[in-house]
Amino acid sequence: MAIHIEKIESVVNDLTGELLSLTTEVTDINTVPTEPNYLKLYVDDLGLLNKLSGCEVISLIHIAALANYDGQVSLPLLVKQSIAEKAGVKIQAVNNATVKLTRKGILKRLGTAVYILNPDLFARGKWREIRERRKAFQSVTTYLPNGEKVVETRMLD
């Protein structure tokens, strides 16, 4: 919604009442929608809803903690090794978790070892910026007749 503000300033000669100048200043302000209602969802609950294993949940917690304000996270080998040590698992388990999180639409692979967290699930920063990231990230969940859930995610250009 845009707000239209007009400011009119006039200069009048006090003795004669003559209008010396008239200035109109117009300002249009585009407002950002307010932040939507939200519900705090714990990563463990997100894991249950997405049928993630304990290792996948703990990997997600560590990955989310590493994300920057754009929701991006770099996961080179050294970082994955650190996550594996903290989680008490092998690095292959972290690799497998990353693949599953990507398949589930929780992560989106941007490039070699670079991912973005789904901004509909994880957000940090100012609402205006989060809203813009959400516009660029499309996540579609389809429930098949057999009860299987298919999640497709993609970045919009």
For residue 47, the enclosing domain spans: 43-155
Which pLDDT score, from 0 to 100, does residue 31 have? 67
In a domain, residue 111? The reply is yes
3-class SS at 22? strand
Distance, in Å, from the CA atom of 96 to the CA atom of 58, rounded to the nearest integer, reads 13
In a domain, 9, yes or no: no
| Cα distances (Å, whole numbers) of residue 72 to 27, 60, 64, 76, 115 | 36, 13, 9, 13, 6
65 domain residue, yes or no: yes
Q: What's the domain count of the chain?
A: 1
Weakly modelled stretches of the chain, pLDDT under 50: none
CATH code where residue 47 lies: 1.10.10.10
Report the C-alpha gap between 81 and 43 in whole angstroms: 21
